[in-house]
Amino acid sequence: VAFYGLTQPTGHREKQVMKLENCMSAKSNMYELRSRQAQLTALHNTQEFDVLIVGGGATCSDYLKTALVERDDFSSGTSSRSTKLIHGGVRYLQKAIVKLDYEQVNNPKGSSVRPRILELFPMLKRDKLLGAIVYSDGQHNDARMNLAITLTAARYRAAIANYTEVVHLLKRADPQMGTERVCGVRCRDVITGQEFDVRAKCVINATGPFTDALRKMDDQKNPNIYQPSAGVHIVIPGYYSPDNMGLLDPATSDGRVIFFLPWEKITISGTTDTTSAPMSKVTMT
């Protein structure tokens, strides 16, 4: 069992972010966000973008004439359904423990920390609890971070549009290769049903679990390269975890890793990891 302290952005960091935002908005109205209709107009009227990103889980800005289309809302898929941890801490911890002397971990002091462990996490089984270690990790709001990146790109005049799905790919002849190459997409505004073309020098497939669906728009014979999996979290009362500490069991009886994470006054527990077909609409049950 591992415990970890969770750190979130401090007041100082929030003030620095606010200063940066105020500075950006004061520089020039190039940083003002355009309405969705204005974004769609930019997609319509731009002859060719440098980069077109399909999928609103990530985007980019600066130097390139960039477009982004997302068939649902920004960050409404995988990007907003994580464990809220900044990825990497557990793997670093595993490497560190490998180098430890086993006797250092398996010493008699474990018996003295068990009462404190059970005080923090009373749902643990007492008879099989040997001890715990504590390390620090980071926690963030995945959806807001994703949206902040997207809006930053929009402030720098990237053309972004949600509820805009790709119907099929556009292609043109490539004399050098003797084949056709993708040069854009045919889009449909999900809200109005209107269809239009968006052309770009480069089209990036950033659709996550729907990667293969977009690849097959290029060629139905393209083999699948992505194996989607489904992970389920359950939401339980906040008293299952302290406000600033989570719990990780790296080896449950069925071989999975399980978390208990404090989040917004509740506790998130999970996650499962099972092979699954891509699901476009996932809701709470």
Q: Which residues of the chain have pLDDT under 50?
A: 1-5, 7, 10, 12, 26, 28, 58-59, 61, 108-110
For residue 85, the model assigns a pLDDT of 80
Read off φ and ψ for residue 159, nearest 5 degrees: -95, 115
For residue 10, the model assigns a pLDDT of 47
What does the chain look like in DSSP terms, one character per residue? -EEEEEE---HHHHHHHHHHHHHHHHH-GGGSPPPHHHHHHHHHH-S-EEEEEESTT----SSS-EEEE-SSSTT-SGGGSS-SBPTTHHHHHHHHHHTS-HHHHSSTTHHHHHHHHHHH-TTS-STT----EEEEEEB--HHHHHHHHHHHHHHTT-EEESSEEEEEEEEEEETTTTEEEEEEEEEEETTT--EEEEEEEEEEE--GGGHHHHHHHH-TTPPP----EE---EEEEGGGS-TTEEEEESS-TTS--EEEEEETTEEEEE---EE----S-----
pLDDT, tens digit, for every residue of 13-70?
555 556 555 555 545 455 688 899 999 999 988 988 998 888 876 445 456 888 999 9
Task: Give the chain's domains with CATH numbers.
Answer: 29-225 (3.50.50.60)
pLDDT, tens digit, for every residue of 208-221?
888 899 999 999 99
